[in-house]
């Protein structure tokens, strides 16, 4: 079996694992499809009977024909109602399945390690969850709507035609496989094209997301022309692969229709010869047979269209299942420790870590942090300062050694209880879509307005918040809307002032704040840090002169350690770094 067939089979099995949850609805859909087809196939028999009662001018039995027509009308209305009910079942199956898949994908995103998000464009992930899921839904719905009905129609018409005249039926059966051969050939060649289309569309979505999110940077560096060129190149590739996929898939319909016309012509010709020679078929019977021949070939045409649409759906489903099968972050042990309020005794025991195995970063790091200490981390860009923070928060796990908090290896502590003990303020602000109040109360949803106002005052954010249109009820977009970078950072600081965690991580927390406000914030931080372990990542060394311990990092190693005065006396790397500023 080829890799492509094997892949398609695996994807279909995974799709079935979702569909089988609604097996009762699937069964009902099949039953209703059978009834609808049976009634649809019964109508030509009635029409054929009516034709046979039209013998010649003056010899037409209007009473019987009228009864047949009334009966036909009732059956047609009843069939339409059943078809509507069947379509409802199909819609429920499809959109329940898509809802389940999207739910599972979103749940998987919550437990994927941070390295997955660091290594994949956000737009591509969004494209998988939204666009690919929609494309898959369209294909699945078409499959349910036409596949069941089509298969039952083929079987039903075949039985009815055999009952009318086996000889003419043989003509239909012999010509029909041509339609399947053509459809199968086209379907084989469209899967790879639809997959390429889906991947390119995800690439384009990722690029659009990046450009819109960084429009200020694009304009500041006059990158508009280059951005357009890159977009045009991606858009052109998407256009080409989409046109190819659509062109090949659109060949199915005219090709199968041509073969269907051949079948219809063959039935008409052979049927007419049989009828004229008295071969056991009436004019009404031939009319009925022609109707069946048309209905018999029509599902082949529809199924062919479904098959090509399913190629697109399977390609999109494959990208969704790729995301669902990504390795989640390491599970917490069953007996994981739920840590209460931490004392702040932290040990780094022979810690080594690298994002990429062949590029070493932190190697054999040993460090002891005592409760209440203020630890400053300094060093050139890329030396591992932020990586150290990622390890403390367990965004990444160490590759060797251990980090212990209050005597417990952090890998044996639940992530939730560990992270609850840290308060983080980073250079990049974290704001969500919601009110100012909701953003400050993110770490403590039970906080009252008085609690939030107190925290905002301590963070020196209360003044500008009160000047906003609705004060603390002002609605913010994801990036903070019209707020300045400094105002957004003050809201993040107020968030930490509210929860008062036992351990603090400050990564250039005042980088976007004016000097006067920074002095006030540093004073507020000074009060906050008393009795709490604090990790301060700083580029401006003047802000960390009062730190208990300053860790000087270079190439992932701590090359110097001590307080400000001790490090200056050594006249080493810190000395040069300090006086260079």
pLDDT at 313: 81
Inter-axis angle of helices 283-324 and 166-175, nearest 10: 30
pTM across the whole model: 0.67
Comparing CA positions, the residue from 18, 118, 13 lying closest to residue 329 is: 118
Q: Does the pLDDT of residue 283 top 70, yes or no?
A: no
Non-local CB neighbours of 306 within 8 Å, separated by 6+ positions: 142, 143, 146, 147, 150
Quote the radius of gyration of the chain (alpha carbons, Å).
36
Both tokens of 179, joined, read: 């339609």
- What is the Cα–Cα distance from 2 to 8, expressed in whole angstroms? 10
DSSP conformation letters of 512-556 = TS-HHHHHHHHHHHHHHHTTSEEEEE-SSGGGGTT-SEEEEEETT
pLDDT band of 450, cuts 50, 70, 90? very high
Domains in the chain with CATH codes: 8-324 (1.20.1560.10), 346-580 (3.40.50.300)
Q: Does the pLDDT of residue 171 top 80, yes or no?
A: no
CA distances from 282 to 48, 230, 275, 295 (A): 9, 68, 6, 20
**Of 31-40, 204-213, 376-385, 402-411, where does the model show the most confidence?**
402-411
pLDDT band of 264, cuts 50, 70, 90? confident
pLDDT at 6: 46
Average pLDDT of the chain is 80
**Of 42-56, 124-138, 454-468, where does the model show the most confidence?**
454-468
Q: Does the pLDDT of residue 52 top 80, yes or no?
A: no
Q: Does the pLDDT of residue 514 top 50, yes or no?
A: yes
pLDDT band of 218, cuts 50, 70, 90? confident
Inter-axis angle of helices 148-164 and 283-324, nearest 10: 160
Q: What is the mean pLDDT of residues 203-225?
A: 78
- What is the Cα–Cα distance from 400 to 550, expressed in whole angstroms? 24
Comparing CA positions, the residue from 159, 163, 145 lying closest to residue 36 is: 145
pLDDT at 158: 78
Burial of residue 369 (number of CB atoms within 10 Å: 0-12, 13-18, 19+) = buried
- What is the Cα–Cα distance from 15 to 9, expressed in whole angstroms? 10
Q: What is the mean pLDDT of residues 487-492?
A: 84
The answer to whether 324 touches 140, Cβ cutoff 8 Å, is no
pLDDT band of 302, cuts 50, 70, 90? low
Q: Does the pLDDT of residue 501 top 50, yes or no?
A: yes
- What is the Cα–Cα distance from 333 to 313, expressed in whole angstroms? 38
Q: What is the mean pLDDT of residues 33-60?
A: 74
DSSP conformation letters of 12-78 = HHHHHHHHGGGHHHHHHHHHHHHHHHHHHHHHHHHHHHHHHTB-STT-B-HHHHHHHHHHHHHHHHH
Non-local CB neighbours of 344 within 8 Å, separated by 6+ positions: 369, 370, 371, 372, 373, 405, 406, 502, 503, 532, 533
**Comparison of pLDDT for 396 and 306, the residue scoring more:** 396
DSSP conformation letters of 443-502 = G-TT--HHHHHHHHHHTT-HHHHHTSTTGGG-EE-TT-TT--HHHHHHHHHHHHHHH--S
Q: Does the pLDDT of residue 581 top 80, yes or no?
A: no
Q: Which residues of 8-37 are buried (b: 16+ CB within 10 A; e: fewer)?
A: beebeebbeebbeebeebbebbbebbbbbb
- What is the Cα–Cα distance from 505 to 508, expressed in whole angstroms? 10
Strands 400-405 and 434-435: unpaired
Strands 549-554 and 374-378: parallel
Q: What is the DSSP letter of 290?
A: H
What are the tens digits of pLDDT across the range 373-432? Answer: 888 888 877 777 888 888 888 888 888 889 998 888 888 888 888 888 888 887 777 888
pLDDT at 569: 85
pLDDT band of 58, cuts 50, 70, 90? low
**Percentage of residues of the chain with pLDDT beyond 70:** 90
pLDDT band of 280, cuts 50, 70, 90? low
Q: What is the DSSP letter of 341?
A: S
What are the tens digits of pLDDT across the range 565-574? Answer: 888 888 888 8
Q: Does the pLDDT of residue 1 top 50, yes or no?
A: no
**Of 123-127, 141-145, 476-480, 540-544, where does the model show the most confidence?**
123-127
Q: Which residues of 323-359 are buried (b: 16+ CB within 10 A; e: fewer)?
A: beeeeebeeeeeebbebeebbbebbbbebebbeeeee
- Cα dihedral across residues 48, 52, 56, 61: positive or negative: negative
Q: Does the pLDDT of residue 316 top 70, yes or no?
A: yes
| Span of 95-109, 338-352, 510-524 with lowest mean pLDDT | 510-524
pLDDT at 378: 85
pLDDT at 449: 92
């Amino acid at each position: 079996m080829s890799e492509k067939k094997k892949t398609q089979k695996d994807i279909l099995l995974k799709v079935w694992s979702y569909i089988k949850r609604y097996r009762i609805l699937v069964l009902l859909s099949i039953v209703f499809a059978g009834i609808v087809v049976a009634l649809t196939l019964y109508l030509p028999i009635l029409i054929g009977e009516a034709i046979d009662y039209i013998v010649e001018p003056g010899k037409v039995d209007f009473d019987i024909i009228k009864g047949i027509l009334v009966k036909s009308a009732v059956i047609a209305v009843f069939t339409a109602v059943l078809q509507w009910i069947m379509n409802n079942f199909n819609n429920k199956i499809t959109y329940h399945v898509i809802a389940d898949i999207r739910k599972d994908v979103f749940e998987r995103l919550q437990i994927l390690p941070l390295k997955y998000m660091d290594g994949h464009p956000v737009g591509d992930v969004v494209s998988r969850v939204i666009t690919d899921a929609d494309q898959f839904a369209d294909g699945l719905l078409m499959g349910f709507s036409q596949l069941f009905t089509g298969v039952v129609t083929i079987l039903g018409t075949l039985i009815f035609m055999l009952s009318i005249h086996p000889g003419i039926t043989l003509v239909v059966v012999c010509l029909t496989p041509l339609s399947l051969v053509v459809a199968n050939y086209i379907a084989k060649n469209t899967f790879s094209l639809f997959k390429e289309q889906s991947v390119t569309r995800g690439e384009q979505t990722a690029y659009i997301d990046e450009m819109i999110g960084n429009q200020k940077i694009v304009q500041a560096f006059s990158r508009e022309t280059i951005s357009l060129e890159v977009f045009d190149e991606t858009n052109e590739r998407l256009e080409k692969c989409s046109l190819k996929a659509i062109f090949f898939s659109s060949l199915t319909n005219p090709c199968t229709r041509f073969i269907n016309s051949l079948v219809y012509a063959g039935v008409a010709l052979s049927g007419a010869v049989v009828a004229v020679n008295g071969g056991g078929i009436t004019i009404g019977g031939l009319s009925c047979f022609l109707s069946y021949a048309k209905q018999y070939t029509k599902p082949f045409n529809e199924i062919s269209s479904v098959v090509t649409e399913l190629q697109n759906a399977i390609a999109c489903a494959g990208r969704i299942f790729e995301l669902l099968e990504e390795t989640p972050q390491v599970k917490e042990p069953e007996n994981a420790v739920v840590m209460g309020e931490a004392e702040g005794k932290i040990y780094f025991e022979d810690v080594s870590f690298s994002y990429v195995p062949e590029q070493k970063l932190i190697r054999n790091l040993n460090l002891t942090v005592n409760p209440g200490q203020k630890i400053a981390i300094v060093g050139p860009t890329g030396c591992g300062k932020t990586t150290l923070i990622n390890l403390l928060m367990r965004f990444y796990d160490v590759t060797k050694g251990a980090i212990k908090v209050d005597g417990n290896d952090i890998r044996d502590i639940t992530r939730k209880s560990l992270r609850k003990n840290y308060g983080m303020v980073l250079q990049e602000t974290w704001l969500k879509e919601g009110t100012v109040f909701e953003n400050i109360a993110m770490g403590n949803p039970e906080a009252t307005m008085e609690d939030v106002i107190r925290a905002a005052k301590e963070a020196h954010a209360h003044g500008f918040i009160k000047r906003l249109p609705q004060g603390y009820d002002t609605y913010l977009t994801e990036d903070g809307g019209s707020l300045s970078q400094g105002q957004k950072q003050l809201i993040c600081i107020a968030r930490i002032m509210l929860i008062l965690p036992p351990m603090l991580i400050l990564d250039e927390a005042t980088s976007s704040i004016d000097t006067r406000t920074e002095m006030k914030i540093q004073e507020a931080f000074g009060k906050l840090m008393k009795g709490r372990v604090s990790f301060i990542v700083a580029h401006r060394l003047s802000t960390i002169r009062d730190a208990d311990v300053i860790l000087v990092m270079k190439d992932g190693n701590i090359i110097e350690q001590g307080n400000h005065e001790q490090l200056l006396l050594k006249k080493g790397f810190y000395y040069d770094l300090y006086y260079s500023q």
